[in-house]
Amino acid sequence: MFSRPRKFDTEEELYDVALRALMRRAHSVQEMKQKLARRTDNELLVRVVMARLKENGQLDDEHYAQQFTRNRTQSRKQGKFRIQRELRARGVSDRLINSALEESATPNDQAGMVRQRIERKLKSYRGPQNAGKIDDKKIASIYGSLLRAGFPSDVIRKELHRIIHEPVPEVDDAADTP
């Protein structure tokens, strides 16, 4: 169905591939290394291009982690566990992930983001036929979606309780661990 990616033999061609990829979106060092390795059979060429990208400041995991974290917390309203998981999958070191998370998020921030997401979900549930009715299934659905978004279970339960004004049943926290 898809043709094989074209293989490149020169540093300039491979560097151009890297720049085009970076124009579309930011990449971690590991992601870029994998992308370039698919485009050439020459390991030395990949290392030369990677060194050139780092030297020119176009590839930096610390900056990437900060930008990624800021985007995910502010725009997408995701929790720290999800952000950690995604950055690890992209090959960013735990030290850089933790420093980026410390810079961008505060505990009060998380509670506010959870509250916003709960209120948005509740608005979609509260139509004319569901006025005032929020059953356990809907609460479980909201709880699960917030866990998948990377928020801590204790914050989720506290905010659900605050908004719904009834005790939220305890749920197995096994899915909560990063």
Residue listed under structure tokens 């050139």? 52
pLDDT of residue 164: 73
- Give the pLDDT of residue 117: 87
pLDDT tens-place string over residues 162-172: 877 754 455 55
Q: Mean of the per-residue pLDDT values for the chain? A: 85
DSSP collapsed to 3 states, the chain: CCCCCCCCCCHHHHHHHHHHHHHHCCCCHHHHHHHHHHHCCCHHHHHHHHHHHHHCCCCCHHHHHHHHHHHHHHCCCCCHHHHHHHHHHCCCCHHHHHHHHHHHCCHHHHHHHHHHHHHHHHHHHCCHHHCCCCCHHHHHHHHHHHHHCCCCHHHHHHHHHHHHCCCCCCCCHHHHCC
Residues 6+ apart with CB under 8 A from 79: 110, 113, 114, 146, 149, 150, 151, 152
Cα–Cα distance between 156 and 152 in angstroms, integer?
6
Query: Percent of the chain, pLDDT > 90?
Result: 49
pLDDT tens profile 15-68: 999 999 999 999 999 999 999 999 999 999 999 999 999 999 999 999 999 999
Nearest by Cα to 122 from 146, 99, 100, 103: 146
Condensed to tens digits (0 to 9), the pLDDT of residues 121-137 reads 888 876 655 555 677 88
Report how far apart, in Å, the C-alpha atoms of 6 and of each of 9, 32, 39, 40 are.
10, 16, 6, 8
Asked if 100 contacts 131 with a C-beta cutoff of 8 angstroms, the reply is no
% of the chain beyond a pLDDT of 70: 84
Question: In this model, does residue 175 exceed pLDDT 80?
Answer: no
Look at 18-22, 80-84, 114-118 and tell me which has the smallest mean pLDDT. Answer: 114-118
Region 93-106 average pLDDT: 88
Provide mean pLDDT across the span 70-94: 91
